[in-house]
Amino acid sequence: MKEYGWLFPLAEEHRCSSFLLMDIIRLVERSEHITSENARFSFSLAVESSRASLSAANLVIEPFHLTKPGRLADFKDIADGMNMCYQVDSNGLLRLAQIPVQYRRQDPDETMKELSAAIQTLTVYVGTTLARMYSQGVLVRTWRKGRWLEYPKAEFDEFASAGYPIRLLSAVLAHCVRMSEKSKGGIVIVQKGDTLESCESLRDIHFSECDLSRTPAAQFIGYAEMDGAIMLSVRGRILAVAQRLKCGESGGGMGGTRHESASRYSAEHECIAFVVSSDGPISIFNAGSLWQRFFAELKP
């Protein structure tokens, strides 16, 4: 039970049984084996809250227990988290509940996050490739590749005094997490200046600078998929994409080609280099050294 130690504070916070939360955890872990017509499907659930309750859905089903996952396949993705979800009572029984219109967002994951915050409860979104658990609107854990992963907590304060905005670095890390979740590798360089140094385009393209804050996550991932590095200034401007980093022999010894390039480049330039491996881990380099690594447990 050591790996599930994080569950007990959650149980206390939401005044529910740790056994109930453990049943929810087991359901999520078995979800990849729950199929309908040989295909996986998404579903969502919310723990019944004493602070607020959800209305019953128009479709009424016979309540069934968390430990009977086969029943989920009977209803496929009807409780996908956009319009309806399963509500779990203190006995572990699942019922269909309607999600209020004001809490619905563009996708079920965001909807369950909003619902968790609005009614101050625990919600879970289970997709076909990953699952997320929210507590009062805060992401608690992500289930991915057979592991419960904690969202990266990076203390960027030491870089703030050197002129790197914490908000920008946190935004870059969030993009890197999304890349990791989609098994997309890449390099993101946050540099001090607004002029490109020691790099050249890997492709015959023209790129117009743009603000990171106005760049959709999917578009950012698309830039990363072009190979080469994404170059950012501390002002939050994307200066270039698909860049080959030109560097000497400083740093290095950190693993694959991306890590070697990022390590050496950060040793020779004032920058912070983020590296996302296609198998999941995220590494951050500064001054030629590995500063921090996240999701290292995903390394094969």
Are residues 227 and 98 part of one domain? Answer: no
Altogether, the residues listed in the chain come to a count of 300
CB 184 within 8 A of CB 278: yes
Residues 71 and 36 occupy one common structural domain: yes
Residue 223: pLDDT band by 50, 70, 90 thresholds? very high
247 shares its domain with 266: yes
> Domain boundary residue among 149, 182, 210?
149
Domain boundary among 114, 149, 184: 149
Query: Looking at residue 2, what is its pLDDT?
Result: 56
Q: Are residues 287 and 262 in the same domain?
A: yes
| Alpha-carbon gap, residue 258 to 206, rounded angstroms | 23
Segment 67-84, tens digit of pLDDT: 998 899 999 899 999 999
**Mean pLDDT calculated for residue range 194-222:** 93
pLDDT band at 209 (very low <50, low <70, confident <90, very high): very high
Q: How confident is the model at residue 118 (pLDDT cuts 50, 70, 90)?
A: very high
Structural domain harbouring 19: 2-149
Average pLDDT in the 159-184 region? Answer: 96
Judge whether residue 186 has pLDDT over 70.
Answer: yes
Q: What is the pTM of this model?
A: 0.87
What is residue 254's predicted lDDT score, i.e. its pLDDT?
A: 53
| 240 and 171 assigned to the same domain | yes
Domains contained in the chain, number? 2
Per-residue confidence band for 250, with pLDDT thresholds at 50, 70 and 90: low
So what's the pLDDT on residue 169?
98
Residue 36: predicted pLDDT: 87
Same domain, 86 and 29: yes
What integer best gives the mean pLDDT of the chain? 93
Which range among 5-9, 122-126, 271-275 shows the weakest confidence by mean pLDDT?
5-9
Asked if 139 and 235 sit in the same domain, the reply is: no
**Does the pLDDT at position 1 exceed 80?**
no
**Residue where a domain stops, chosen among 149, 170, 205:** 149
**Is there a single domain that holds both residue 178 and residue 129?**
no
Same domain flag for 183 and 145:
no
Q: Do 187 and 137 belong to one domain?
A: no
Task: Specify whether 28 is located in the same domain as 140.
Answer: yes
% of the chain at pLDDT higher than 90: 86
Q: What is the CATH number of the domain that holds 162?
A: 3.40.1700.10
Taking only the tens place, the pLDDT of each residue in 2-56 is: 589 999 999 999 999 999 999 999 999 999 899 988 899 999 999 998 777 899 9
Both 20 and 139 in one domain: the answer is yes
- Indicate the pLDDT class of residue 207, thresholds 50, 70 and 90: very high
